[in-house]
A and B are shown apart, each in its own frame.
Chain A
Amino acid sequence: MAMEVTATSGDKIRCDACPVMCYIKPGAAGACDRYANHDGQLVRVDPHIVLERTVEHGGRVVPFQAGGEWDGKIVNQPDVFVTAIGAGTTYPDYKPAPFIVSSEIDGVDMVTVVTEGIFSYCGVKVKIDTDRHLGRETAAVRAQGEAVGHVTTGEYGSQMLSLGGVHHLTGGSKKEGRVTCDTLMDLSNCKPVELTIDGGATVIVQAGRPPVVNGTAEERMRVGCGSATIGMFAKQWHGKVDEVVVVDDHITGVLSEHQAGKLLDIADTGIKMKGRRSTPGRYFQVAEPGTGWGGTNISDPLSVLGPFNAKEARPGLTMLMVSTTGEHAGYYVLDEALRPVEAEMPRDLRLSVERIQENCEPALCTVLFMAGAGGSLRAGVTDNPVRLTRSVKDALTRVTSGGAPVYVWPGGGITYMVDVTLMPAGAFGYVPTPALVAPIEFTLRLADYAALGGHMDYVRPLSSLKDSSEIRPMLVPGRRA
């Protein structure tokens, strides 16, 4: 909502929303934090978060009538889903969860129990789309110098990190716990965090954004391993070049030796690869892992080649070398001494490199928050906590986090994972234990809720939470797609 601006002074504007009449610089807010200068326009910004948390929680503001009771008018709005963000929590006690809300969905009386869980058993699983070597498996991952997690498995086109967990949060030094807590909260709130891997790279990770590895933003996720790339593009290269090497830290592919090349009757070229041959045309460990070509440490692709075999090679033989993302590529012609000499790449081949790039998906960081709902949190939902667990396992109770769908792990307890980018902004908080505060909601039929020992006395109709700026309409996950 833009307000009228009474006077301007240079690029500053004068706010006339109240008698303080602040001069506000571009990009800044006035003394109230409610009005700001956005490109010379006075705009209303989000309400200031006051220190009293309960204002954010209940949040319903109704007209004040000095003379009598307010009438608390209720507006029915069927698609409102109550999230637990800002609901507050009653941990570590056994009081009913802050909000137990009933609403009617499709004629079935549903109950949503919303609470903010305090999780000291929690962490994030981070998937970083990159071929670059970030660090060896199990290497410590640090934030601000403190160990906050470790490198875990390499997955297809990406590297996984496991951060947080109870040992870093409460098992180490006070500082380690605090930094871990900050790191988890920032990552979960989709903020960028710089992580340094022991003996490896420095990565800036932000959920839903490309990773920045050693200062370079990753653009693409590789189209496949070197061998797969040979298989995918062999036909397009056939007849346009004598040899192709797809450099990859995992499996480097060589066209003339590869099954795909054989099927196209591509002649031997006398190429000699370094590394360990797996099957024909597929090589492991052509170089050390790194942040150069195809996740190796090389900047000169010729360094993965030995001398060409004079029996098969000939002067004038052409060769394309390319990485698995198409980000690096070079074109070579053998000279009289059978040494590859770089030359300008023919247009056809340039197009094939672009095709590789085009087939690479954008590289992203994904962050899944993972936590376990303990006994006390479950007790806030029901008198008989284990029944809630069983109800979740029996799929009678839907678990959501900030309204986002979660994956609940099989096995004991309610241990779940959620994609933080699906959650509303600022969903995560912390307590200095240190532990993270995350929203969690349980939705089930009212009758099922009673059956599992729910706090029926505390069930409030959804309408009693209405009228609040804190309640935002959003789709119930998995419904009304």
Chain B
Amino acid sequence: MRRRPQIALLADGKRLHLQDGPIDLIVEASGREADVRAAYAAAARRFTGLLDELCVELTELRKAADPAQTALKGVVARRMHAAVAPYAANCFITPMAAVAGSVAEEILAAMLAAAPLDRAYVNNGGDIALHLTGREQFTVGLIDRPDAHGVMRTTTIDADDHVRGIATSGRHGRSFSLGIADAVTVLAKTAAQADAAATIIANAVDLPGHPAIVRVPANELQPDSDLGDRPVTRDVGALTEQEIEDALEAGACRARQLLAAGLIEGAALRLLGEAVVVGARGIATPHAVHNNQIQHAIHA
């Protein structure tokens, strides 16, 4: 039986939905009608078989990355490795930390190779690859908690910005987190870089050894998790204001290092209702959010 990905337009007739196994993409392009059509067709073509391509090297992709070299062959797999390599010398990270962003980039690249587009995005469950030209811009809503509805704030990205990738990581997502952040959203030059960095920063938002934090070995939850028996966060109990601040500061400190190293353009970190923003000009501050009351746009 040949497995076929789900490929369909959404109700508005504008956005394309691609789903295969754990990959779930929302794609939207704007430009000339024929170009958009050609781009969607290219996205559908590239998407078909993409998961199988990754799974061929799944064993290798689940191993700790070597900072200097890789035996990976696939273009997406190699992009995943390249995105995590800057971190591999100092901490445990596998190429899987960048899978969502790398896939999003791959589909966007296929679309752009097929037709010129004014503006496009590929949203892979919150890890987003962007394309912008001229005066086009994106308004991006940053979510408060991935497990609940609620937009924390918005930011605008225009063609002059270096940002072409956005990713969110945290303990509520589908992937496990070693840290306690509710959500860390990263803006970076590429989606794969954003994906890897969000994982790293979310892991750094932590209070090691704190009794209110429940951790469970990853492989007790998912037997074949790439994290092996590393303890992943399952629950975060009551923390004092100071502890929340300390944990966020630990993450913000890591984010500032990555900013200085040119690995990210900015980050917003969220834990138990408190937030810290690093770098990213244009992300509304928490204070401004209160003044503006509600920013509801998630129209990437």
Contacts and interface: CB of A to CB of B under 8 A. Distances in A.
B41 interface: yes
Contacts of B123: 50-52
A134 to B, nearest CB: 23
Nearest to A185: B148
A66 B44 contact: yes
B170 to A, nearest CB: 11
A21 interface: yes
Given A20-B58, A23-B223, A118-B294, A59 B11 contact: yes
Contact of A48 (B174, B220, B273, B296): B174
A12 interface: yes
Contacts of A58: 10-12
A277 interface: no
B238 interface: yes
B22 A20 contact: yes
B283 to A, nearest CB: 14
A60 interface: yes
Nearest to A88: B296
A33 B174 contact: yes
A210 B168 CA distance: 39
Given A60-B10, A61-B17, A118-B294, A51 B125 contact: yes
B26 A52 contact: yes
Interface string B285-300: 0000110011010111
Interface stretch (B80-88, B149-157, B194-202, B255-263): B149-157
A48 to B, nearest CB: 6
A48 B24 contact: yes
Contacts of B20: 18
A458 to B, nearest CB: 14
Interface stretch (A154-162, A289-297, A425-433): A425-433
Nearest to B274: A174
Interface in B39-62: 40-41, 44, 51-52, 55, 58
A53 B298 contact: yes
A148 to B, nearest CB: 15
A143 to B, nearest CB: 12
Nearest to B58: A20
Contacts of A28: 221-222
Interface residue range, chain A: 35 or more
B212 interface: no
Interface in A24-64: 24-25, 28, 30-34, 48, 50-55, 58-64
A430 to B, nearest CB: 5
B223 A25 contact: yes
Given A18-B3, A429-B150, A431-B150, A55 B294 contact: no
Contact of A25 (B9, B222, B289): B222
Nearest to B300: A52
A54 B55 contact: no
A429 B296 CA distance: 12
A28 B176 CA distance: 13
A25 B13 CA distance: 39
A144 interface: yes
Interface string A179-190: 000000100000
A274 B299 CA distance: 69
A52 B144 CA distance: 13
Contacts of B26: 50, 52, 55
Contacts of A89: 296
A216 interface: no
A144 B272 CA distance: 13
Contacts of A468: 11
A376 to B, nearest CB: 11
Contacts of B223: 12, 23-25
A66 B40 CA distance: 7
A17 to B, nearest CB: 7
Given A18-B21, A50-B24, A431 B296 contact: yes
A74 to B, nearest CB: 12
Nearest to A66: B41
A64 B4 CA distance: 13
Contacts of B37: 66
B151 A431 contact: yes
Nearest to B123: A52
B296 A64 contact: no
B143 interface: yes
Interface string B104-142: 000000000000000000010110000000000000000
A310 B53 CA distance: 96
Interface in A184-237: 185
Contacts of A178: 273
A166 to B, nearest CB: 13
Interface string B206-243: 00000000000000111110000000000000100000
A11 to B, nearest CB: 10
Interface string A241-274: 0000000000000000000000000000000000
Interface string B7-44: 11111110111001110101000000000010011001
A51 B146 contact: yes
- Top 6 A-B residue pairs of the complex, sorted by shortest distance between their CB atoms: A18-B21, A60-B11, A429-B149, A58-B11, A19-B55, A32-B22
13 contacts: A20-B21, A32-B22, A50-B125, A51-B125, A54-B298, A55-B10, A55-B17, A59-B10, A64-B8, A66-B44, A432-B144, A432-B273, A433-B294
Interface of B: 3, 6-13, 15-17, 20-22, 24, 26, 37, 40-41, 44, 51-52, 55, 58, 123, 125-126, 143-144, 146, 148-152, 168, 174, 220-224, 238, 273, 289-290, 293-294, 296, 298-300
Given A48-B125, A52-B126, A437-B149, 10 more contacts: A18-B51, A25-B221, A51-B146, A51-B298, A54-B10, A60-B10, A61-B11, A92-B293, A92-B294, A432-B289
